[in-house]
A = this chain, B = another copy of it.
Amino acid sequence: MVGIEDVAAAAGVSTATVSRAIRGLPRVSPRTRAKILATAKELGYVPSSAASRLASGKTHTIGVLAPYVDRWFFGKAIAGVDRELHGRGYNLSLFNLGGRTQPRERLFSKAMVQKQIDALLLLCMYLHEEEIDDLHAIDMPLVVVGGPVPGLSNVGIDDYQAARTITEHLIELGHRHIALLHGQDDSDLNFSVPRIRVEGFHDAVHQSGLEFDPDTALFGNFTVESGVEAMRRFLELPAPRPTAIVCASDEMALGVLFEARRHGIRIPEELSVVGIDGHEMGAAVGLTTVWQDPTAQARRGTQMLLAELGGDEGAVHPEKAEQRLIVRESTAPPRR
């Protein structure tokens, strides 16, 4: 295996100079640098990242902690991190804590994360109290993308406003009896996104002088399947049923839409359905939603991390992301 010494010898310089030249550091004359780069290429030299990590203390790796990778928001976000890292010589290390039910190790301050990465990007997820504590104890640039985590900087949309916006859209159309399909699970006190969206919904309803019938609160877990099931339960509700459903995510809204069609319920004539997220399939089926861009959010978060690593203190800071109401064909005034 050709090492830095071989290159140094072949180029007639010291290893120190080779190191500087390869990394593009100053204090190397153009001629020397050119010569070194040429011989390095000729010899097929590839620096040992292990040695470099040990000597420099930098891993040139960003860790991404995500609860899932095969769900819309997370897949998009990871793609964003990747795109931002790609070409900058940084690696992306993916960490997964497993779902919220499975037993999971406390790994924040542990080996898995510690010393393996230079910075951490956390995708919104279910967190236990102690995990949040661990997070605060981590001594490296850290940003969360998605829902806010108390005390940590995050890049994401205003979920409260998103829920209000979409609910008010329905109210403006004339709906007075609105059902809610949310992903709130009372055990998940620390996953704030579902809760915040629910709050936005309730506030919009109440401040419009309407009432919310608790019996029309449906539960899901943010998947299409849970939307399908929720719709089945909705159909068992006693008449008069709500004329609209606010879903806490597009994926659940899609499930609702699909199941509604299956039962011959015409959307939006008989039932208005809205979601939040801006899932691509929503566009294909005409789902009214509040759009957001997880990829862009993750890119922004990654940029902050990189800037902070580059010595730009304070580069990591909270930042609200773009969101936009997109009215399509799943909403209309109620018939009654």
Contacts and interface: CB of A to CB of B under 8 A. Distances in A.
Interface stretch (A173-181, A279-287, A313-321): A279-287
B69 A59 contact: no
Contacts of A111: 46-47, 49
B114 A46 contact: yes
A39 to B, nearest CB: 17
Contacts of A223: 280
A144 to B, nearest CB: 19
B59 A54 contact: no
B49 A228 contact: no
A208 interface: no
Please state the number of chain copies in the assembly.
2
Contacts of A83: 96, 98
A94 B110 contact: no
B79 A91 contact: no
A260 B262 CA distance: 15
Interface string A91-134: 11111101000000100001110111000000000000000000
A224 B75 contact: no
B79 A68 contact: yes
Given A112-B91, A284-B259, A285-B258, A70 B59 contact: no
Interface string A64-82: 0000111110011011001
B48 A50 contact: no
A47 B54 CA distance: 12
29 contacts: A46-B111, A47-B115, A48-B115, A49-B116, A50-B50, A50-B57, A69-B69, A69-B75, A69-B79, A70-B76, A70-B78, A70-B79, A71-B75, A78-B94, A82-B96, A83-B98, A86-B98, A91-B95, A93-B93, A93-B94, A223-B280, A224-B280, A225-B280, A225-B284, A254-B284, A255-B284, A258-B285, A259-B284, A262-B286
Nearest 7 CB-CB pairings of A with B: A50-B53, A70-B75, A50-B54, A258-B284, A70-B79, A75-B75, A92-B94
Given A68-B79, A91-B93, 16 more contacts: A46-B110, A50-B57, A69-B75, A69-B78, A69-B82, A70-B75, A70-B295, A79-B96, A86-B96, A91-B112, A223-B280, A224-B280, A224-B281, A254-B281, A258-B284, A281-B281
